Amino acid sequence: MVPSDYPDDYDEDDRLDPSRDWEDAASIHPGALPGALRRLTLLGDDPFLSMQATNIGLVDAFLNTLESRLMRERVTQDSTPPDTAFVLAQSQMWIFSTYELLRTWKQRAKDTIKLIENGGVEMRLAKLLKPLSYRHTAREMRARQLQKIAIMPNALDVLDADLRRTHVTFGLMEALRMALAKHEVPKVKDSVAFAPGYGRINMWNGSIDFELSTDAGILGTTSHRELAEGLRHMFNGPPQTWDELANFNDYLKGPPASFWPPGP
């Protein structure tokens, strides 16, 4: 579905706080996003995950330029700019690839926490270092990575903090990915997402706003720009606690479908 701009009666308070100080796309350093991703424990010292972070950063910079131009064109045109569908398509691809990188890293971080807590590090290392008939450099790298993290005195705290830093952005991305890719509501069997893939131009930064839906309705929107900002700035200050993040988890669940009264 080709996205559109906001209608004439669009209420800015329903979509985005206009007082938010969105940074001009031209001033966003192209290395800020991959640099932040590489600060995540178990990601930056993995050359293959790091390479994915580089790719995500390159597409992010490309999208920032496209979105900035789209915003300017929408201001000067009476109709939806012709490049809007392309920006929407690129935004979806960026969301998919970034989600997969974070999902892979998150699973590795959780698995490492379990190995340390359950005393399974040596067994896992033995499996990784088992002699093969050929050299497997990725397995050797993974073994060195595990050896390094296992001797860190605060390894569990560091991994837990990084999981909390990414929790909100990953949660939004996961919810949106389910709608975009599977046309379903996250964690709801036999559900149908509201208008999956449909987006609108954000009039404050040019990014495409996609709807976040639950089984009961629309929670709000998010976009490539908002998700990228969350990752770029995730080390600006301490992460939230799990108790604080519980409110976000409840938000993503939304009200139960029975909350809404039946129609006439």
Residue 6 lies in a domain: no
Instruction: Check pLDDT > 80 for residue 257.
Output: no
pTM as predicted: 0.86
Confidence at residue 162, expressed as pLDDT on a 0 to 100 scale: 98
How many CB atoms lie under 10 A from the CB of residue 92?
19
- Distances in Å between the Cα of 168 and the Cα atoms of 105, 123, 162, 174, 231 are 15, 33, 12, 10, 10
Structure tokens at 124: 């896992």
Q: Is residue 262 part of a domain?
A: no
Tell whether 141 is covered by a domain.
yes
Give domain status of residue 257, yes or no: no
How many domains in the chain?
1
* Residue 12 is assigned to a structural domain of this protein: no
Would you say residue 170 lies in a domain? yes
Quote the CA–CA distance of 213 and 253 in Å, as a whole number: 9
pLDDT at residue 261 is higher than 60: no
Mean pLDDT, the chain, integer: 87
Q: How confident is the model over 123-137, as pLDDT tens digits?
A: 988 888 898 899 898
Q: Which domain holds residue 149?
A: 27-249
Across 54-68, 132-146, 212-226, the highest mean pLDDT is recorded for 54-68
Closest Cα partner for 205 from 89, 96, 87? 87
Token pair for residue 116? 């340390």
- Whether 1 is covered by a domain: the verdict is no
Domain membership flag for residue 3: no
